[in-house]
Structure 1
Amino acid sequence: MTSLPFPLTETPSAETAEIGRKLFAGPVDFVKGVVSMEGLPPADRLEICFAGRSNVGKSSLINALTGRKSLARTSNTPGRTQEINFFDVGEKLYLVDLPGYGFAEAPVAVVRQWQALLKSYLAGRSTLRRAFVLIDMRHGVKKVDEEILDLLNKSAVPFQVVLTKADKIGLAQQEQTLAQVRTALAKHPAAFPELLVTSSEKGEGVETLRALIATMQ
């Protein structure tokens, strides 16, 4: 077993992998997109959310996770998603797709509005069990990511880093990024103590993520 802080998430057992497969093989339905806290659905079930800077591959990962090609909208234009999108997974939990933060091809006022919504949701949703913060493995933790990590930490929202686009770089660069991320997370008590490496294109880490979500209490 590795002695490094924030080791990689272990491959799930056959039993937990099957639990995850069954959950996401069932119905996954779009509920609504909201632009204000008043529009949130009732807080009547566990929620997990996905956060990440614009163009980190969040929509692609959600589509891979759910086995749907276009459940979450993908775009080559960073910052296009301006709503908090709720998806019902098997009537057991909400999967929440948060608006991308950071660079955005949108008017400044619009950017400020949805960034404020993002912060309000993270700080005030009582049923939010875990936030998955997506980090591009090619770039590591950037300043804009630190702002979200600080917010999650201050709000006492447990969060776990999911590294995306692992197939885009070699093993040596992956190790460099992992070291940088581990250093960045060391000052955040709310950080879940394992990292998950994924590739939406190759399917790497998807089974593990399904199992993690499906076995949350």
Structure 2
Amino acid sequence: MNKLICFLYISITTLPVVLSYLLDRKYRRKIKLITEDDNKFYNQLLSVTMKNFNCKPHVIEKNECSENCSLAYQKIIQAFISSAKSSICLCIYIFTLKSLTYELIQAHKRGVDVRVISDQIMFETKSQRDNFSILSKNEIPYKLHSPRSIKMHHKFCLIDKDDPERAKMFSGSLNLTNQGFCYNFDNTVLTNNIYVIKRFSDEFEKLWNLF
């Protein structure tokens, strides 16, 4: 009886310690894996602030004022798109920048699979409709959401999403317009985090099939 009591006492007193050790070890292992994964990926933030509200002339004249100039930001996005080797999936509420339209067309011509999703109401504005007319003339497929009462408010772009070595994306509040780059408080994050890309890729395919 005394042995049983002793065994139970030792078990009860040591069990929390053992469990705590095992949980702590599991937690540290997860943190280590997350840290190792983070070291594989990059993240770059483009943040449009009040300083960018004076950058419209720089965009027009093609003359950057700094590394945070709106024109510099547009060039980063343009280079991102032009780097595509296999696919571009653009899901965007408003898209009127002709320089980026040109990059999509050039990508399509070199064999990149380009698809675009946008908002039905925004499509009815002249600037957006004209831009998508250019895409259509160059046989780039696009889809518009329905019903009209709901906004297709996403702003993200996936580059080579099915290639683990090359996959990357950008996403944020920024629309691909001069207004977005020069006159709004906006942001977008560029990353090659494959876990984030997978989630956005699933969303794009769901929307493409839905519309």
TM-score by length of 1: 0.34
Higher relative contact order (CA 8 A, sep 6+): 1
Q: Which has the larger radius of gyration?
A: 2
TM-score by length of 2: 0.34
